[in-house]
Amino acid sequence: MRDKTFGVNPMRGLFGTLLLTILISGCATNPVTGKSELTFVSESEEISIGSRQYLPAQQSQGGTYDVDPELTRYVTEVGKRLATVSDRALPYEFVVINDSTPNAWALPGGKIAINRGLLMQLENEAELAAVLGHEIVHAAARHGARAMERAMLLQGAVMLTALGSKDSEYSNYIVGGASIGAQLISQRYGRQAELEADRYGMEYMAQAGYDPNAAVSLQEKFVALKDGQSPHWLEGLFASHPPSAERVQKNTEKSQEIRALQHKDWEVGQARYDHQLAYLESKKEAYQSFDQANTLLADKEIAVALNRIERAIRLESAEPRFLGLKADVLFQQKKYSNAISQYSDALKHDDAYYEYYLGRGLSHSKLGNRSKAKTDLEKSNSLLPTALATNELGNLALNEGDRASAKQYFGEVARTSGSLSEAARQSFVRLDLSDNPASYFRVQSQLREGQFFSAITNNSGLRVKSAVVQFNARINGEIRQASRRTGPLANGQTAGLYPGWALSETDLVDGINVRVLSVTL
């Protein structure tokens, strides 16, 4: 009933495509490892999936770091240098994500990202090359595509992905097909995939002239941080790329092998890296204050958090994430006009991040500015469709009398999880009960002491004031009709109704139909 009630799940389309592809797919040689593999997703579809998911994946991780555009150009330069020597020609792209969590990820088709938090932990350009080379192999060797194939075949769907929420009462989730990308970048790679990404990534480093020993020092650092149980790392790179002593050993052996066969003036790039990271390094305290503010807000320490945010803004006035977080606090304090002004300031610095439109749209809605709210929420969903924005668009559509759009919005949110999902489900059912009341009631009919009788059970999940039930039948060639009204029915409660038809074994009864025609809530 859920699939029928809440529409077609966009995940099922991709699942169906994969199943259809199985029928026409076969073995192919992996361009990196040279192994023969059964493939379900063609290269063109792999590239298409990565391209479609790249923007929402960036949005879900914090958006791009644009305060220092030279840093992204630098990362792209290093990435392209490695991509040129890779075993697979893909449309590689590289971005810096505006998040302090040390992390890096790759989507199918060569779409790669590295967090500014990880850049701050690296020592030199060769270590950056080790990270990017590793991610390039994940894309080139189809590790992400293979994981997607396994997930879709085993689960039939991709897990919904939770986001931070403007309203702590609700959990905010990515809705629709955009959750595929978020799931892909948070998946945990297996031991074989990680070893392959290390090994071939080091070969790419060497071909590009970088010292392969940097992959050893990088992995040693990761293992030490893991052993120290650093929370920041555990929720970032370690969640999807688990380090191990085995990887350190394998990297050491590979580096020794490469350096024994190739005699080069290996590049480390210390000076270049220090130069390119200088601006971000100079703003370290600002981002630390920002991170502290987020932690304090989670602990409901709003006043102290606001002080940390103000300090971050003083140290780096060009960072829109700081302005956006201040706007979030104003929203929580129900200072909606001030929040709108602050979100607008953030958008002047970055007009391509969903959270600012989402917060401003919710603020406009709170003030009754429905047209402006709708515009902002639709823009937010165009960047990253979320449960909060979609649910509020449903409320706005309902206020405008657009029941069809409201049902569509509420149906999308109902497929997520959490208390917002349940509220949306109830909103959807309230609307759909008028259009399809029979779908929410179970009807069981029988004879009781010679009288036709129907038991009507409310399965809507809501309490109803009454339901009108229509009875139709042909009895001894005569068409008979009757209608009866139930009293109040709680969810799961049953009402017994008699249409007033006395029947005997000799009566010829044909085509009895009993259905709920309308409901009053």
For residues 360-371, give the mean pLDDT.
Answer: 98
For residues 348-376, give the mean pLDDT.
Answer: 98
> Measured at the alpha carbon of residue 72, what is the angle toward residues 71 and 75, in degrees to the nearest 5?
90
Per the residue annotation, which of 46, 125, 127, 135 is the catalytic one?
135
What band does 229 get if pLDDT is binned at 50, 70 and 90? Answer: low
For residues 292-310, give the mean pLDDT.
Answer: 94
Among 20-34, 151-165, 223-237, 479-493, the range with the most confident prediction by mean pLDDT is 479-493
- At 429-476, the pLDDT tens digits run 999 999 999 999 999 999 999 999 999 999 999 999 999 999 999 999
Average pLDDT across the chain, whole number: 88
pLDDT value, residue 352: 96
Give the separation between CA 41 and CA 1, rounded to whole angstroms: 31
What band does 152 get if pLDDT is binned at 50, 70 and 90? Answer: low
Q: Is residue 483 pLDDT above 50, yes or no?
A: yes
For residues 309-314, give the mean pLDDT.
Answer: 98
pLDDT value, residue 233: 54
What is the sign of the dihedral through the CA atoms of 329, 57, 276 and 291?
A: positive
Give the separation between CA 22 and CA 26, rounded to whole angstroms: 8
User: Across the strands, what pairs with 455?
Assistant: 444, 496
- CA-wise closest residue to 490 among 515, 467, 518: 467
pLDDT value, residue 189: 76
Task: Give the other-Cβ count within 10 Å of 215's Cβ.
Answer: 31
Q: CB of 202 within 8 A of CB of 251?
A: yes
pLDDT value, residue 190: 79
What band does 164 get if pLDDT is binned at 50, 70 and 90? Answer: low
135 is catalytic: yes
pLDDT value, residue 156: 46
Give the separation between CA 142 and CA 152, rounded to whole angstroms: 15
Give the separation between CA 48 and CA 269, rounded to whole angstroms: 34
- At 317-353, the pLDDT tens digits run 999 999 999 999 999 999 999 999 999 999 999 999 9
Q: CB of 396 within 8 A of CB of 365?
A: yes
Greater confidence (32 vs 97) lies with 97
Tell me the domain boundaries of the chain: 2-280, 284-434, 437-520
- At 175-214, the pLDDT tens digits run 888 887 777 777 777 788 889 999 999 999 999 999 999 9
- At 505-515, the pLDDT tens digits run 888 988 889 99
Give the separation between CA 427 and CA 410, rounded to whole angstroms: 7
**pLDDT over 90 percentage in the chain:** 70
- Residue 210: what are its φ and ψ, rounded to 5°? -85, 150
- At 63-82, the pLDDT tens digits run 999 999 999 999 999 999 99
For residues 103-114, give the mean pLDDT.
Answer: 94
**pLDDT over 70 percentage in the chain:** 87
pLDDT value, residue 66: 96
331 class by beta-carbon count within 10 Å (0-12 exposed, 13-18 middle, 19+ buried): buried
Q: Is residue 151 pLDDT above 70, yes or no?
A: no
240 class by beta-carbon count within 10 Å (0-12 exposed, 13-18 middle, 19+ buried): middle
For residues 6-27, give the mean pLDDT.
Answer: 49
pLDDT value, residue 149: 65
What band does 174 get if pLDDT is binned at 50, 70 and 90? Answer: confident
Joined tokens for residue 290:
């920002």
- CA-wise closest residue to 138 among 184, 81, 76: 184
pLDDT value, residue 266: 94
CATH 1.25.40.10 fits 284-434, yes or no: yes
Fold classification of 437-520 is Immunoglobulin-like (2.60.40)
Buried b (16+ CB within 10 A) or exposed e, 493-504: eebebebebeee
